[in-house]
Amino acid sequence: MVSLVSVFATAILPIVAVGGVGYLLGRFREIDTDGLNTVIVYVLAPALVFHSLATTTLAGSTLTKITLAVVAFHAFAIVTAEAAGRLFGASETALVAVILVTAFPNSGNYGVPVSNFAFGDTGRATAVVYLSVQAVLIWTVGVYIASRGSTDSRLDGVRRVFSVPLVYAVLVALLARALDVVPPADSTAMSTLQLVGDSAIPVMLLLVGIQLARTDVGSTLSAVGGVVGLKMVVAPIIGLGIALVAGFGDPAVARTFVLESAMPSAVTPMILVGEFTEGEVAGVPIVEFVSTAIFATTLVSVVTLTVLIAVLQSGVVI
């Protein structure tokens, strides 16, 4: 099997190092995370998505398979999380937290860099497609879940999908490919887009570190054990099952799909519950519960992703 030390050094350590810098910044300096998030959402991520989709060498059939597989993963993850929550008698508020934390992995800020280091250009391209599809799902299905029982806010939230630049970056890139009007890779326009898009990766990692530094885990940490297990053990198994059924022709695509599904919880659910959900989970505000779960899954992922990447790179599973 591939050396765990080698995997950690090449695929995880660079992520931890940059995220660690962000963590230290968040601990000792006042950083405007809202400003950073705005830059990522409205400039860096759209540039990354557009350039990657417009220039990807992945076949059209592969792009379709990835899209369908991502939708299937989220559907199964949502159903599994809700079933587990109801089995243990979770309240409606707790169900919202469990579902959002379990079903939506950090496929962007964390997933794209890790996939890039683990599986190269194919890994990055696959991760970007995964991110693009999930961005649409999280601002539609995710908003619906977060705003259960509040029809007005739910409808208002779903409309936000049309204000997310990532969605338009996906559509424009696919349209440009379909019409065969994508500028040459070495043109000034594409070189500029690549430069801006590449900068998204380190900035995303810095933002994750800063956000983790501001998470007040306290006594809530012990209450998120169950949801951490769902996210870091059950969700990857769902992803593996879907990858095997999907039958991706390229092993690197299949392995990246599984890796993306195994990422820790995304940060966006914390934003969604803060705006659309009220109430407490395990005796603390739902926002605090979700932020603690994000913190815990991110820490656990350093170990779980190292092992998973080693297994995937060895070819034992896929």
Would you place residue 265 in the very low, low, confident or very high pLDDT band (cuts 50, 70, 90)? very high
Nearest residue to 131 (alpha-carbon basis) of 220, 199, 40: 40
- 75-121 pLDDT per residue, tens: 999 999 999 999 988 898 999 999 999 999 999 889 999 999 999 99
**Residues 300 and 236 sit within 8 Å (Cβ to Cβ):** no
The conformation of residue 3, written as its DSSP 8-state character, comes to: -
Stretch 292-297: mean pLDDT, rounded?
A: 90
CA distance 282 to 270: 16
| Nearest-5° Cα angle at 281, 275 to 282 | 155
- 137-179 pLDDT per residue, tens: 987 898 889 887 455 555 666 676 677 787 788 889 989 998 9
Specify the pLDDT at position 152.
Answer: 55
Cross-strand partners of 40: none
CATH 1.20.1530.20 fits domain 4-215+225-314: yes
The conformation of residue 234, written as its DSSP 8-state character, comes to: I
Helix (H, G, I), strand (E, B) or coil at 17: helix
- 171-209 pLDDT per residue, tens: 899 899 989 999 998 999 999 999 998 898 888 888 888
Q: Is the pLDDT of residue 271 over 80?
A: no
Specify the pLDDT at position 155.
Answer: 65
Q: What is the mean pLDDT of the chain?
A: 88
Sign of CA dihedral 190, 191, 196, 199: positive
Helix (H, G, I), strand (E, B) or coil at 93: helix
Amino acid making up residue 259: L
Q: At a CB cut-off of 8 Å and minimum separation 6, what does 186 contact?
A: none
| Nearest-5° Cα angle at 236, 235 to 240 | 120
- Helix ranges restricted to H, the chain: 4-7, 13-28, 33-39, 45-55, 60-87, 92-103, 111-138, 141-146, 151-159, 165-179, 188-198, 200-213, 225-229, 235-246, 251-261, 268-276, 286-314
CA distance 169 to 70: 18
Report the greatest alpha carbon distance in the chain. 58
Q: Is the pLDDT of residue 2 over 70?
A: no
CA distance 275 to 223: 22
CA distance 226 to 177: 44
Amino acid making up residue 137: L
The conformation of residue 265, written as its DSSP 8-state character, comes to: B
Tell me the pTM. Answer: 0.85
Specify the pLDDT at position 176.
Answer: 93
Amino acid making up residue 55: T
Nearest residue to 290 (alpha-carbon basis) of 91, 87, 96, 34: 96
Would you place residue 74 in the very low, low, confident or very high pLDDT band (cuts 50, 70, 90)? very high
Stretch 223-228: mean pLDDT, rounded?
A: 90
Q: Is the pLDDT of residue 17 over 70?
A: yes
Burial of 188 (0-12, 13-18, 19+ CB in 10 A): exposed
Would you place residue 260 in the very low, low, confident or very high pLDDT band (cuts 50, 70, 90)? very high
